Every structure is written in C-alpha cells, then in structure tokens.
Amino acid sequence: MLSAIMEDYLKAIYYLQDETDERVRTSTLAEHMGVEQPSVTSMMKKLAERDLVHHEPYKGVELTDTGIPIALEIIRHHRLLERYLTDHLEYDWAEVHDEADRLEHHISNQFADRIAEQLGDPAVDPHGDPIPTAELDISAPKCGETLADHQVGDSVRIERVPDEDADLLRYLSEHGIHPGTEVEIVEVTSFGMVTLDLDGGDEPVALPEKVARSISAQSLSEDTS
C-alpha cells in the first residue's frame, strides 16, 4: 500500500517527533530526508490524505494514531535487521545501517518475526536503540542523559550511540566503546573536547563535544540497580 519512500518519511517523523516532542517542521524533515522543502510539503499532503499524519499548514506535522504503528513497524524491521546482520552474518556494526535502511521496507513481518525468534527477541539493536515488540510496544525511547551531561570524574555506562555515521562507529569500536562499556570522564576542555578513560585500561579516548552529546550514558552511582 505504502511506498518505501512514504515509509521513510513516517520513520523520520517518528524520530524527530521523539526528539523534540513538538510538531515536526518542514525544514527539519527536508534536511533529514535530503530533499528540498517543496518535496516535503507535497509528501505531507499525500500522507495527510491517508490520515497518517496531521498537517497544520505552516506549523508542521505529527503522526496520527494510524501513522505511529506503521513507523514503529519499520523501526522494528530496521533494528532487528541490524541485530541480525551483526549477530548472525558477521557484519561490523558500522556497516549495518545502510543495509538495514534498504531492507526494512522489503522484508515481510513474517521475516522480521522469524529473525526475532532466532535472536531470542532482543530488546535493543547493536547501537543500543530499543526494538519494538511484535505488538509494537517500545521501551523508554531515550533516557536523556548524554556523555556531555556528566562532570569530570564521573563514571558512566554507555547506553546507546548514533547509528548513522559509519566513520564514527568505526572509531568508537576501534577504541572499545559500545553500549555497555563503562568509562570515566577525565577531561572536558573549554574548546569542546571530551576525554574518556576506559574501564579496561589502554589509552584515553578523545571525542568532540558534539559527538559526546549524541552518546547516551548513565551514571554508575550506587542507585544503579
């Protein structure tokens, strides 16, 4: 019924809506999809026509109750595929995003359910993002705190990393940083460089503050359990 392109728009709206909790703006969507604004406006009309989004002209769009489960279905496909590619097909986590971004539109729900079963219904994808269940329940979207929100001296556990920049992912995995890794923040410079010490020794790892702000991390304080 829906084209792959329409599905990608719905997915993008879901992500952006999740981030800001406001209506998603045409310009934001255009940038995220890599198209010009008029393309977005025209697509929003089509999606509104089908009751998948509510479009308030000049104000932005949001997913309707019909649109949300469709977006979640695609996100489920995407994240299950990523998990499957890394766990069963020896893909590097830096390579999985593009492959999943294509395949997510073309696998059946049956395919998704079968690989979920093979994987033992995993809760998160290789980058730490939660995988919606077959009933499309999704756990806590995003826990808020990032590496940049902590102080020098804090010990934190990496929760999730952004999955779209392959170069960054390669850099991170080369330096042993995955969801689950425990690190201590050892330096934050005035010019925006964050340095981490890995639990497992080795060299400290430096990250631009912009990157630090894109990586979720939770305090390792007493009340962690």
Describe the crossing of helices 4-20 and 67-88 by its angle, rounded to 10 degrees: 100
User: Which pairs count as long-range contacts for 41-45, CB under 8 Å and 24+ apart, including other chains?
Assistant: 43/5, 43/6, 43/9
Supply the minimum distance, in Å, between the C-beta of residue 45 and Mn ion: 21
Contact call for residue 1 and a second copy (CB under 8 A): no
Contact call for residue 5 and a second copy (CB under 8 A): no
Contact call for residue 73 and Mn ion (CB under 5 A): no
Query: How far, in Å, CA of 15 to CA of 75, rounded?
Result: 10
Residue with smaller CB distance to Mn ion, 119 or 206: 119
Determine the interface stretch with Mn ion among 8-16, 34-42, 49-57, 146-154 (rule: CB under 5 A).
8-16
Pick one of 3, 42, 66, 89: the residue that binds a second copy (CB under 8 A): 89
Please, which of residues 77-106 interact with Mn ion by CB under 5 A? 82, 101
Exposed, middle or buried by CB within 10 Å (0-12, 13-18, 19+), for 156?
Answer: buried
> What, of a second copy, Mn ion, DNA, none, does residue 171 touch, CB below 5 to 8 Å by kind?
none
Strand-pair partners of 193: 208
Contact call for residue 21 and a second copy (CB under 8 A): no
Other CB atoms closer than 10 Å to residue 164's CB: what's the count?
Answer: 11
> What, of Mn ion, a second copy, DNA, none, does residue 45 touch, CB below 5 to 8 Å by kind?
DNA
CA dist list (Å): 173 to 29, 53, 163, 182, 184 = 30, 38, 12, 14, 17
Query: How far, in Å, CA of 78 to CA of 163, rounded?
Result: 11
Query: How far, in Å, CA of 193 to CA of 206, rounded?
Result: 7
Site string for DNA, 24-53 (x = CB under 7 A): -xxxx-x--xxxxxxxxxxxxxx-------
Site string for DNA, 126-155 (x = CB under 7 A): ------------------------------
Pick one of 8, 62, 73, 159: the residue that binds Mn ion (CB under 5 A): 8
Closest CA to 176 of 195, 210, 151, 201: 201
Query: What does the binding site for DNA look like in residue numbers (CB under 7 A)?
Result: 3, 5-6, 25-28, 30, 33-46, 55, 57-60
